[in-house]
């Protein structure tokens, strides 16, 4: 048992810093009783798996190209079970997850995700939905009057659904899988509702593509922590803070290339004039509000 355990540890040492690895070896050899070694071994395994998860959080990147290898039902169920351990408002679990593997269904969904290639190429698509339908039905069957046909309840269910989605992503990435969120879900919710046959009380809030990575893209940049964290209360940004926080991003080669490719003079313009334009935002915003009405979330 311990020998097998050791080989496992040896195989995972690339995840450990040399100092931690040396300490683990030292502690194990100085423990005389088998039981102590076993207890310590279990502790190390837990520690390593926590290290692995944090490691995968720091090293993650969105994956948009996938190998054709299948994601087994067992593995997918593990990820979904992990997702369903997420915190959920009042333990109501007001979400549903639609698993799409079928080629023809993917083809129906593809244009609704603006023909992004990974929708067809990824072996699995997961659509996470805010869902009060199931909970409402339970209330009615149990002589309880549901009061969830309002915007607050939509937000509650959307938060629940997004927490599950992100936990599934963390679990997937920790297992070496790749994911990509699809923001197109909220743009085209009305059509996705038709394809996935979502009843009233159910609204898709995000989709992820899931599969084994066929690429290892560069990690994208992030604003430094100081730019996004406020101590005790919000400190509003001065112009010089904004200069300081965004100039690093603007100075990157990929940002400069992005500006050139889009024929703009600043990086911000690429966002306002090309990627997330006001007219599009207004248009899709109206559509989403209509979806919330149609799906019975705006009745008061």
Ligand X SMILES: Cc1cc2nc3c(=O)[nH]c(=O)nc-3n(C[C@H](O)[C@H](O)[C@H](O)COP(=O)(O)O)c2cc1C
Residue window 207-246: x/- pattern of binding to ligand X, with contact defined by CB under 6 A: -------------x--------------------------
Q: How far is the CB of 49 from ligand X (least distance, A)?
A: 23
Judged by CB under 6 A, the residue of 61, 191, 200, 249 near ligand X is: 61
**Site size for ligand X (CB under 6 A):** 11
Is residue 106 part of the contact set for ligand X (CB under 6 A)?
no
Judged by CB under 6 A, the residue of 86, 88, 133, 184 near ligand X is: 184
In the bound state, the residue with its beta carbon closest to ligand X is 183
Judged by CB under 6 A, the residue of 64, 130, 131, 133 near ligand X is: 64
Query: Which of 16/119 has CB closer to ligand X?
Result: 119
Cα(125)–Cα(106) distance, rounded to whole angstroms?
A: 8
The one segment of 40-48, 58-66, 194-202, 227-235 that binds ligand X by CB under 6 A: 58-66
Q: How far is the CB of 1 from ligand X (least distance, A)?
A: 40
Q: How far is the CB of 119 from ligand X (least distance, A)?
A: 10
Is residue 62 part of the contact set for ligand X (CB under 6 A)?
yes
Query: Which of 116/150 has CB closer to ligand X?
Result: 116
Is residue 183 part of the contact set for ligand X (CB under 6 A)?
yes
Cα(266)–Cα(240) distance, rounded to whole angstroms?
A: 17
DSSP string, the chain: -HHHHHHHHHHHGGGS-HHHHHHHHHHHHH--SHHHHHHHHHHHHHHHHHHHHHHHHHH------B-SPPPPHHHHHHHHHHHTTS--GGG---EEEEEE--HHHHHHHGGGGTT-THHHHSSEEEEEEEE-HHHHHHHHHTT------SHHHHHHHHHHHHHHHHHHHHHHHHTT-EEEEETHHHHTHHHHHHHTT--TTEEEEEEEEEE-BS--PPPPP---HHHH--SSS--PPPHHHHHHHHHHHHHSHHHHHHHHHTT-SSHHHIIIIIIS-HHHHHHHHHHHHHHHHHTTS---
Is residue 182 part of the contact set for ligand X (CB under 6 A)?
yes
Residue window 193-212: x/- pattern of binding to ligand X, with contact defined by CB under 6 A: -------------x------
Query: Which of 17/220 has CB closer to ligand X?
Result: 220
Interface residues with ligand X (CB under 6 A) are 61-62, 64, 116, 180-184, 206, 220
């Amino acid at each position: 048992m311990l020998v097998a355990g050791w080989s496992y540890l040896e195989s995972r040492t690339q995840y450990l810093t040399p100092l931690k690895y040396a300490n683990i070896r030292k502690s194990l050899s100085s423990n005389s009783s088998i039981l102590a070694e076993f207890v310590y071994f279990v502790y190390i395994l837990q520690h390593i798996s926590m290290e692995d998860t944090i490691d995968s959080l720091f090293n993650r990147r969105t994956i948009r190209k996938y190998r054709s290898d299948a994601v087994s039902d067992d593995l997918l169920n593990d990820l979904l079970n992990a997702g369903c351990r997420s915190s959920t408002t009042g333990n109501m679990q007001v979400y549903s997850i639609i698993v799409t593997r079928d080629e023809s269904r993917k083809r129906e969904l593809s244009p609704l995700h603006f023909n992004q290639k990974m929708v067809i190429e990824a072996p699995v698509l997961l659509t996470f939905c805010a869902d009060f339908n199931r909970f409402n039905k339970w209330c009615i069957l149990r002589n309880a009057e549901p009061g969830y046909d309002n915007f607050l309840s939509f937000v509650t269910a959307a938060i629940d659904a997004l927490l599950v989605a992100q936990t599934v992503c963390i679990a997937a990435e920790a297992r070496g899988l790749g994911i990509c969120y699809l923001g197109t879900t909220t743009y085209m919710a009305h059509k996705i509702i038709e394809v996935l046959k979502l009843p009233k009380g159910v609204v898709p809030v995000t989709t992820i593509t899931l599969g084994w990575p066929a690429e290892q893209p560069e990690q994208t940049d992030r604003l430094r922590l100081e730019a996004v964290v406020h101590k005790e209360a919000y400190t509003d940004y001065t112009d010089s803070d904004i200069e300081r926080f965004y100039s690093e991003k603007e100075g990157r080669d990929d940002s400069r290339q992005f500006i050139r490719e889009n024929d703009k003079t600043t990086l911000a313009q690429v966002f306002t004039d090309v990627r997330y334009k006001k007219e599009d935002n207004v248009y899709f915003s109206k559509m989403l509000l209509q979806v919330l009405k149609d799906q019975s979330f705006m009745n008061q």
